[in-house]
Each structure stands twice: as structure tokens, then as C-alpha cells.
């Protein structure tokens, strides 16, 4: 275990539970619901409630410490909870139990083009997305050329992103996130969309 002084991420007893399916009501009206509910014994009501509201644990009792400067890859099959963990760290969703502590400036890239507006150009989306992610306007202006050149989209920068391929979306979104210069960068499976040259870059 690392000392507290150089930890970037601390996860303690983290669990996330989701309901399965839709919650169904006993009846269509209040009167029907009360009438039907009163016919059940306490045991029957408990049994019905469990059947009606099944749940699943996407994460269960996860504890982890990540020191500054480390790179961590989370590997697992579909439904293993990888994206759920990243969403909790990104504060998109909250844990059912436990806690996750982030120390430092964080940026996340969980889905291709998250926060992009399809009708806006690449240029406009760089300004919009960078502002949403917390970059000051003066920094956006100062780093704009770096962002576009890293994404290799100079000739398409004034084209609406709805005409971009998924790979072009990815390169621009990743470039914006990377140029925030965060202390912690969370990346989901989106890098699988890029070509080999961009993945190496």
C-alpha cells in the first residue's frame, strides 16, 4: 500500500447496485393498488417486492490505491463493471456503498465525442468541449493549434463534426482531453476506434 502523500486515486469498499427491469405497480389506480395490496400477507408482500425489484451488483467491495505516475489497465469481460468503475471515478454516477477519492485535476474520455454537438464545426466543438471540461478560454486559444495538429484534422477543422468518421471524432475528443493536461486521465474502450498509428501516438 502506498502512503497517502503520493496517491492519485483511493477506492475503499466500493460497490454499485442497479435495479433490473422496470418497477411495476399493483394496479392502474390508487384504489386498485390499495385493494390488491391489502389482500397480501406480510410474507407475500415481501416475496412480491423481491420478485418485482430484482437487483444486480455491477461492483462489489472493491478497494484499490493508485500512486501518482502509475498507469493502470482494467481488464475483464462484458458486464464485469469496468465502465461502471470509470463512471463512478468520473462522478457520472455514485456508488451504492464505499467511496472513491480523486486527488488532482481529472479528465475523462469514456465515449467517443461526448459533449460534441454534431451541427457545430470541429473548431467550435474544441472550444465548447474544452470549456465544458474546465479549460479557461485563454488556454483554449493558446493550445488550439496543438489540439488540432495532434488530432491531424487541420483541413477538416471547419467542417461540422456530423460529417466526421468515428475515428475523426475520437482523435479530436481525445486531443481535447489530453491537452487539458490533467493529473489523472480516465479512458474507456474508445481508443479501440483509432487506427494503430494514432494509438501509438
Please state whether the predicted TM-score (pTM) of the whole model is above 0.75: no
pLDDT at 153: 94
List average pLDDT for each run of 10 residues in the chain, which is 201 residues long: 74 93 53 61 54 82 93 88 91 92 84 78 94 89 95 95 88 86 80 68 71
Identify the structural domains of the chain with CATH numbers, from first to last. Answer: 4-103 (no CATH), 108-200 (3.40.50.300)
Q: Kindly report the CA angle at 167 between 82 and 180, in degrees rounded to 5? A: 65
Find the length of the chain: 201
pLDDT at 25: 47
State how far the Cα of 162 lies from the Cα of 17, in Å rounded to an integer: 35
Q: Report how many helices (DSSP H) and strands (DSSP E) the chain contains, helices first.
A: 7, 5
pLDDT at 192: 61
Amino acid at each position: 500500500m502506498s502512503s497517502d502523500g503520493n496517491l492519485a486515486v483511493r477506492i475503499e469498499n466500493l460497490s454499485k447496485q442497479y435495479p433490473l427491469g422496470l418497477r411495476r405497480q399493483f394496479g392502474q389506480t390508487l384504489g386498485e393498488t390499495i385493494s390488491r395490496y391489502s389482500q397480501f400477507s406480510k410474507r407475500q408482500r415481501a416475496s412480491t417486492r423481491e420478485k418485482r425489484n430484482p437487483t444486480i451488483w455491477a461492483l462489489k467491495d472493491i478497494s484499490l490505491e493508485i500512486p501518482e505516475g502509475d498507469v493502470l489497465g482494467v481488464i475483464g469481460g462484458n458486464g464485469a463493471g469496468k465502465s461502471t468503475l470509470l463512471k463512478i471515478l468520473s462522478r457520472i454516477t455514485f456508488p451504492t456503498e464505499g467511496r472513491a477519492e480523486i486527488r488532482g485535476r481529472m479528465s475523462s474520455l469514456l465515449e467517443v465525442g461526448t459533449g460534441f454537438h454534431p451541427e457545430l464545426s470541429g473548431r467550435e466543438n474544441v472550444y465548447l468541449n474544452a470549456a465544458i471540461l474546465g479549460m479557461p478560454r485563454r488556454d483554449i486559444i493558446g493550445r488550439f493549434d496543438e489540439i488540432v495538429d495532434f488530432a491531424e484534422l487541420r483541413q477538416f477543422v471547419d467542417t461540422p463534426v456530423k460529417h466526421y468518421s468515428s475515428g475523426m471524432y475520437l482523435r479530436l475528443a481525445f486531443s481535447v482531453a489530453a491537452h487539458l493536461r490533467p493529473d489523472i486521465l480516465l479512458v474507456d474502450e474508445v481508443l479501440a476506434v483509432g487506427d494503430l498509428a494514432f494509438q501509438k501516438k
